[in-house]
Chains A and B, each alone.
Chain A
Amino acid sequence: MDTAYASACNCFNPRLKQILGGLPEEYQCLVQEIRLKKAAPLVLVTASHVLYPNLYGQPTLPDRGVTVFSEEIDEMFHFLCSGAVYSHSEEIRKGFVTAKGGHRVGIVGKAITEKGQIVSVTQVDTLSLRVCRDVPGCGAAIVSYLYDGRRLNSILLASPPAGGKTTLLRDLARTLAKDGIRVCVIDEREEIFPAESGFDSGVLCDVLRSFPKAEGIRRAIRTLSPRVIFCDEIGDESEAAAVMEGFHSGVRFVLSVHAAQKEDLFLRPCLRRLFSDGEMDFAVLLKDRHTPGQIRQVISGKELRNAVFGTDSPAGCLYGGRPAQSL
């Protein structure tokens, strides 16, 4: 049985675990996502197919698939929270729980709001488990852009969801750490190197688990003196500001963002801010979920800057970056 798939199956109750265990092995290693919805068939998502297993785990037609009971969702939700929903309040508020083994489980239910802010999610009716896989060596094609033996570069990995960004980040962090470079990983969602996952991070790799990204970056710079900081899914201005502080402190970054194509990178203000200073050396666009982890295009830092500010614009002409003459 595929190890990552087997570990994901352990999150389910005995009935569903048995069904999932019956899935033919050639499919097991392809499963990216396991979806449970109340009173709906159990769904397995691969890069190219959606599978509906029957009672014996064999893929079948949607109307012959195994139906998930409402109680099973509730039971699994509490199990994922180690029986203590209160201890996962912050994650639940953000819409996910990280299961043992690093599998991220998205939670869909009714939001409880207070003064316009989501404080919790109740009446959970869908759970979507993303199978977390460690693929050592998958970042080999990108390492040359990141590190040429003398100079370290900053890289932005971009792809649509399920494009393999987190798996690449994990492998790149491990590769650099094993090459003797001090690395910090800000693992806000405990997906890159989850606790109890057994993923090898290397001796020189410090993993800051559950730290908010901006705070984690600042703390790492102040206390751990890393040469490279890894951060998954940069998404807002405060995180971009923390990255900029890191750039100005002489730290390099490997970041990931959601983006389907090159143009998407320039539409988001926080990314434009990152490109403005000319500190981002490469953006690596990955192919979509059908071919996770594969490079589609590599864009140089100069190209990124030009795309944002027009050809040959000096770095830092917007957003208060370094003035051109000081370059």
Chain B
Amino acid sequence: MGLILLLGVCTAAGLLKAFELKRRIDQLKALLLTVEQWEREMEFSNADIPRLMGISGEGKDCPVLMHLRYEPTDRSLEACYFRAKQETYKEMCFQSDDWIVADRFFSQFGKSGTVGQKDFCRGIRAQLQAQIEQAEAFRLRHGKLYAAGGFLCGMLVFLLLI
């Protein structure tokens, strides 16, 4: 019974790891969508940060975006973002490179005029796109490996212990 449980746990761990790869892609895509929406709002409605944060709440796949909110004591987007990041760090599947792009975006957004912001958003979008492509390639290479690896690892332990 214990061995079957062990096999189940190993398989689940492998599947979870594979699922994390998919979630990373979804979260990066949600962030990219938010960048696009903010850029559009900036251009067409001149929306300020508190209003933009309302829009980012629609990024259901990305917990850090869901937790972005403007508290009365907050004085910058950067502060809101780092609080949200702290709250959701464990739920996020970002790798260090993804965090660098996200940190850069939320630290710099809104700090220059429209023209500068459009260039900045374009740069961020390109970086996110590259991260998504890299994440998809990684998932293609390693997704099935993790899922099968978990099961095989469990099976190996199962056989050894038998």
Least CB distance, B83 to chain A, in whole angstroms:
14
Q: Are A83 and B112 in contact (CB under 8 A)?
A: no
Q: How large is the interface on A (under 10, 10 to 19, 20 to 34, 35 or more residues)?
A: 10 to 19
Asked if A85 contacts B111 (CB within 8 A), the reply is yes
A84 contacts B47, C-beta separation under 8 Å: yes
Question: Is residue B88 contacting chain A, with contact meaning CB distance below 8 A?
Answer: no
Interface size class of B (residues with CB under 8 A): 10 to 19
Q: How far is the CA of A292 from the CA of B132 in the complex (A)?
A: 61
> Which residues in window 59-89 of A have CB below 8 A to B?
75, 78-79, 81-87, 89
Shortest beta-carbon distance, B10 to chain A, in Å?
47
B6 within 8 A of A: no
Whether, in the assembled complex, A153 has its beta carbon less than 8 Å from a beta carbon of chain B, the answer is: no
Question: Which residue of chain A is the closest to B43 with respect to CB atoms?
Answer: A86
Task: Name the residue on A nearest B38 (C-beta).
Answer: A84
**What residues of A have a CB within 8 angstroms of the CB of B77 in the complex?**
83
Which residues of chain B are near A13, meaning CB under 8 Å? 75
* Cβ 8 A contact of B110, one of A75, A86, A120: A86
Counting CB contacts under 8 A, is B123 at the interface?
no
Whether B111 contacts A78 by the Cβ 8 Å rule is yes
Q: B42 — which chain A residues lie within 8 A by C-beta? A: 84, 86-87
Nearest chain-B residue to A12 (Cβ)? B75
In contact, B112 and A75 (Cβ under 8 angstroms)? no
Whether B50 and A82, one on each chain, are in contact in the complex, defined by CB atoms closer than 8 angstroms, is yes
Which chain B positions have C-beta within 8 A of A86?
42, 46, 110, 112-114, 116-117
Does B49 belong to the interface (CB within 8 Å)?
yes
Q: In whole angstroms, what is the CA distance A92 to B109 when docked?
A: 17
Residues 23-52 of B, flagged 1 when their CB comes within 8 A of A and 0 if not, give: 000000000000000000010001111101
Q: Is the CB of A84 within 8 A of B110?
A: yes
Q: A83-B49, A84-B42, A84-B48 are in contact. Are A89 and B75 (CB under 8 A)?
A: no
CB of B129 closer than 8 Å to a CB of A: no
B-chain residues with CB within 8 Å of residue A78 when the two chains form the complex = 76, 110-111
Residues of A within 8 A of B48 (CB): 81-84, 87
Q: Which residues of A contact B114 (CB under 8 A)?
A: 86, 89
Shortest beta-carbon distance, A141 to chain B, in Å? 40
Which of B42, B77, B110 lies at the interface centre, i.e. has the most chain A CB atoms within 10 A of its CB?
B110
User: What are the residues of chain B within 8 A of A81 when measuring CB–CB?
Assistant: 48, 110
Interface bits B101-115 vs A (CB < 8 Å: 1, else 0): 000000001111110
Q: List chain A residues, Cβ under 8 A from B117.
A: 86
CB B100 to nearest CB in A, in angstroms, measures 21
Residues of A within 8 A of B50 (CB): 82-83
Q: How far is the CB of A175 from chain B (nearest CB, A)?
A: 33
Interface 1/0s, chain B 44-71, versus A by CB < 8 A? 0011111010000000000000000000
**Interface code A79-117, partner B: CB below 8 Å = 1, 0 otherwise?**
101111111010010000000000000000000000000
Residue among A75, A79, A85 with max Cβ neighbours from chain B (10 Å): A85
Given A13-B75, A79-B75, answer yes or no on A89-B49 (Cβ-Cβ < 8 Å).
no
Contact A75–B111 (Cβ < 8 Å) = no
| Shortest beta-carbon distance from A96 to chain B in Å | 16
Q: How far is the CA of A4 from the CA of B113 in the complex (A)?
A: 30
Q: Which of A78, A79, A84, A89 has the most CB of B within 10 A?
A: A84
Least CB separation from A83: chain B residue: B49
Residue of A nearest to B50 (CB): A82
- Report the minimum CB–CB distance from A84 to chain B (whole Å): 4
For residue A92, give the distance in angstroms from its CB to the closest CB of chain B. 8
Q: How far is the CA of A119 from the CA of B114 in the complex (A)?
A: 11
A84 B49 Cβ-Cβ under 8 A: yes
Contacts of B52 in A (CB 8 A): 84
The answer for the CA separation of A75 and B47 in the assembled complex, in Å, is 19
What's the Cα separation between A307 and B46 when bound, in Å?
A: 47
Whether the Cβ atoms of A82 and B49 lie closer than 8 Å is yes
From A74, which residue of chain B is reached at the shortest CB distance? B111
Identify the A interface with B (CB < 8 A). Answer: 13, 75, 78-79, 81-87, 89, 92, 119-120
CB pairs A–B below 8 angstroms (19 shown): A75-B75, A79-B75, A79-B76, A81-B48, A83-B49, A83-B76, A83-B109, A84-B46, A84-B49, A84-B52, A85-B113, A86-B46, A86-B110, A86-B113, A86-B114, A86-B117, A87-B47, A87-B48, A89-B113
Q: Beyond the given A83-B50, A83-B110, A84-B42, could you list 16 further A-B residue pairs with CB under 8 A, ordered by the A residue number?
A: A13-B75, A79-B75, A81-B110, A83-B77, A83-B109, A84-B49, A85-B113, A86-B42, A86-B46, A86-B112, A86-B113, A86-B114, A86-B117, A87-B46, A87-B48, A89-B113
